[in-house]
Amino acid sequence: MFETELKIDDPRYAPEYVSGTETTEEPQNKKKWYILKVQVNREEPIKRNLERRIAVAGLKDYFGDILVPTEKVTEIRGDKKRIIKRKLYPGYIMIYMEINDATWFLVRETSGVGDFTGAAGKPTPMQTHEVRRILALEVEDPKTSPQLKVGYQVGEKIKVKEGTFESYEGVVDAIDLTSGRVTVILNLFGRSTPVELEYWQIEKNLN
Residue type, 114: G
pLDDT of residue 13: 46
CA separation for the pair 41, 43 (Å, rounded) = 6
CB-based contacts of 140-146 (< 8 A; 24+ apart in sequence): 140/7, 141/8, 145/74, 145/178, 146/71, 146/72, 146/73, 146/74, 146/83
pLDDT of residue 133: 82
Residues 145-163: what's their mean pLDDT? 77
Q: Give Cα 96 to chain centroid, integer Å.
A: 17
CA separation for the pair 183, 175 (Å, rounded) = 6
Domain ranges, ordered by start, for the chain = 11-144, 150-204
> How far is CA 42 from each of CA 11, 49, 135, 173, rounded to the nearest angstrom?
29, 11, 21, 37
Domain covering 11-144, topology = Alpha-Beta Plaits (3.30.70)
pLDDT of residue 203 exceeding 50, the answer is: yes
pLDDT of residue 3: 43
Burial class (CB in 10 A: 0-12, 13-18, 19+), 184: buried
Q: Which CATH number fits domain 150-204: 3.40.50.800, 1.25.40.10, 2.30.30.30, 3.30.70.270?
A: 2.30.30.30
The pLDDT tens digits for 38-90 are 998 899 999 999 999 999 999 999 999 999 988 777 666 655 667 777 788 88
pTM for this prediction: 0.59
Report the share of the chain in percent with pLDDT over 70.
72
**Average pLDDT of every residue of the chain:** 79
For residue 170, the SS3 value is: strand
Judge contact between 34 and 125, C-beta under 8 A: yes
Give the best-scoring range by mean pLDDT among 90-104, 157-171, 180-194.
90-104
CA separation for the pair 27, 124 (Å, rounded) = 22
Residues 2-6: what's their mean pLDDT? 44
> How far is CA 119 from each of CA 60, 116, 124, 127, rounded to the nearest angstrom?
27, 9, 7, 15
Q: Which residues pair with 32 in a beta bridge?
A: 97
Among 9-18, 26-35, 140-149, 184-193, which stretch is predicted with the lowest mean pLDDT? 9-18
The pair phi, psi for residue 127, each rounded to 5°, is -75, 150
